[in-house]
């Protein structure tokens, strides 16, 4: 009996804690729909009088948010696809091909994944200027494809290391080349893992800040994260515009979250403990 009674306080405490986690989202939504006058009069905690949409509209136009969204989708999407392709090529050689010196090759990729971007940022900035790639979306796509593929190689190599070998042997005996085995057997069978990786690469790239901040200086090339971060860093916005910015920045994340909740929570566990 006493045990049954004890459950509810635990649940209540957890609900309060969970509420604390999402209060910032709620309060931002609340204030994104207030006019500046209303905000200065009633403060941040009052309910909005009506739906004031001009703040969102002004912010959208001021930063050309459609362009920023397009840039983010383009960069993150390209990185997600290219990094998965690069990861699977690497992992095919390491996990299935079991090439010579395999542990060293794997260590090479793991180390590359662990290097902080701070130790790469200036040379990348400098080299991309030399190569004429500075301030292009392509430069960011190339860099993040490689950085994400480091993690992908590490994860996929151990997954492919356990790939049922009979299937591969059988295909080879049927005369399939390595290239055909890769695309017609290994890739289709590993599709669930590849899907998880693609979702992660997309979201990680979307959220990146340091390198895009350095590499994408012109307005037309900036991602959502960089555009919002730079505006905020310069403290050019009033309170309602800040909230409009925050809400428009939060929305894509919420959409990803709702779309990929299961993938994310499952994938993070797989990724962490592999």
Partner 1 sequence: MTVTVEKRGVTGKAAQAGHPRRPRDSYALFLLPGVLAFLAVIIVPFLMNTYVGFTDWQGVGSPDWTGLANYRELMDDSEFWASFRHSLFMVVAMAAVPTAVGLVLAAALFDYVGKHFGSRVTAVLRACFYLPQVLPIAVAGIVWSWILAPDNGSLNALLKAVGLSSWQQDWLGDPDIALYSVMGVMVWVQLGFPLVVFMAGLQRVDPQLYEAAELDGAGWWRRFWHITLPQIRPEIYVVLTWCTIAALKVFGAVYVLTKGGPGGATDVPSYFSFTTFFEKTQVGYGAAISTVLTVIILALSLIGLRLQTREEDRS
Which of the residues 196 through 215 are near partner 1 (CB under 8 A)?
A: 203, 206-207, 209-210, 213-214
On whether the CB atoms of residues 185 and 92 are closer than 8 A, the answer is no
Q: Which is nearer to partner 1, 51 or 273 (CB)?
A: 273
> Whole-angstrom Cα distance, residue 182 to residue 85?
11
Site string for partner 1, 231-260 (x = CB under 8 A): -xx-----x--xx-xx--xx--xx-xx---
176 binds partner 1 (CB under 8 A): yes
For the range 239-243, what are the long-range contacts, defined as Cβ-Cβ under 8 Å and sequence gap of 24 or more?
239/31, 239/36, 239/39, 239/40, 239/44, 240/31, 240/32, 240/34, 240/35, 240/36, 240/39, 240/55, 241/55, 241/58, 241/59, 241/62, 243/28, 243/31, 243/32, 243/34, 243/55
Options 37, 58, 66, 180; binder of partner 1; rule CB under 8 A: 180
Q: Which is nearer to partner 1, 1 or 10 (CB)?
A: 10
> Whole-angstrom Cα distance, residue 87 to residue 194?
9
Q: Which is nearer to partner 1, 147 or 194 (CB)?
A: 147
| CB of 26 vs partner 1, minimal distance in Å | 10
> Whole-angstrom Cα distance, residue 274 to residue 264?
15
Q: Which is nearer to partner 1, 53 or 167 (CB)?
A: 167
Site string for partner 1, 101-140 (x = CB under 8 A): ----x--xx-xx-xxxxxxxxxxxxxx-------------
| CB of 139 vs partner 1, minimal distance in Å | 10
| CB of 122 vs partner 1, minimal distance in Å | 5
């Amino acid at each position: 009996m006493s045990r049954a009674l004890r459950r509810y306080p635990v649940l209540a405490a957890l609900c309060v804690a969970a509420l604390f986690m999402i209060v910032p989202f709620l309060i931002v939504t609340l204030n994104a729909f207030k006019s500046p006058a209303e905000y200065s009069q009633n403060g941040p905690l009052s309910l909005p009088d009506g739906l004031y949409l001009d703040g969102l509209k002004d912010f959208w136009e001021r930063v050309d948010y459609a362009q920023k969204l397009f840039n983010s989708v383009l960069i993150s999407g390209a990185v997600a696809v290219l990094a998965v392709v690069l990861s699977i090529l690497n992992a095919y050689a390491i996990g299935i091909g079991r090439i010579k010196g395999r542990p060293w090759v794997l260590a090479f990729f793991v180390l590359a994944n662990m290097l902080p971007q701070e130790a790469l940022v200036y040379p990348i900035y400098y080299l991309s200027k030399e190569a004429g790639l500075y301030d292009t979306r392509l430069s960011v796509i190339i860099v993040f494809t490689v950085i994400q593929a480091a993690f992908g190689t590490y994860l996929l190599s151990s997954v492919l290391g356990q790939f049922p070998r009979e299937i591969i042997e059988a295909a080879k005996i049927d005369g399939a080349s390595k290239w055909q085995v890769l695309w017609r057997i290994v890739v289709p069978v590993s599709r669930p893992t590849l899907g998880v990786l693609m979702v992660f690469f997309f979201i990680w790239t979307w959220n990146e800040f340091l390198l895009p901040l350095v590499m994408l200086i012109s307005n037309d090339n900036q991602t959502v994260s960089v555009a919002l971060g730079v505006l905020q860093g310069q403290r050019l916005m009033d309170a309602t515009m800040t909230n409009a910015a925050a809400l428009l920045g939060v929305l894509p994340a919420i959409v990803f979250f709702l779309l990929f909740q299961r993938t994310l929570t499952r994938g993070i566990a797989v990724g962490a403990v592999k």
